[in-house]
Amino acid sequence: MLDIVIRNAGRLSRLTEDILDVTKIESHSLRLKKELFDLNDAIFISLEEFKGQIDTTSTPGGGDVKLLFESVDTINNNKKPVFVEADKYRVIQVVSNLISNAIKFSKEVGGGTVNVSIEREKLEGGRRGVEDYAVVIVRQRKRY
């Protein structure tokens, strides 16, 4: 029960922060804090939060929801770091929202798999020539 209370308190805190962020966006005062971080680690942290939620809630129709994480840079089951320069909190916030929506939809259809993956892409013609970009993909597949 304590885990549920702690998780719900965290959700309420994030909701409050989201409301404040909307106010900052509307007033054009939102500041992004860019930093270099490993995108694999950030997504893994997000997924760990949702694993507890999936394990403790029942799904209508008795179907299970599974979370899978894949990184293009996996060698011998060890994920190589995917370093990006961005606002870590905002990236985690966006990815968490996408995962949350996929989980909710999976539960509504009786279970399924939420697959989160990272892919690298190159973009030519930018100010700095060819640049690498990380693309985060969240897919929901319902169980048939």
pLDDT tens for residues 52-74?
A: 667 544 444 556 888 888 876 55
Whole-model pTM: value is: 0.71
The CA distance from 134 to 144, in Å, is: 31
Residue 134's SS3 state is strand
Q: Which of 52, 68, 58, 70 is nearest to 111 (CA)?
A: 58
Q: What is the pLDDT of residues 98-133, one digit of tens each?
A: 998 888 888 777 788 888 988 888 777 666 665 788
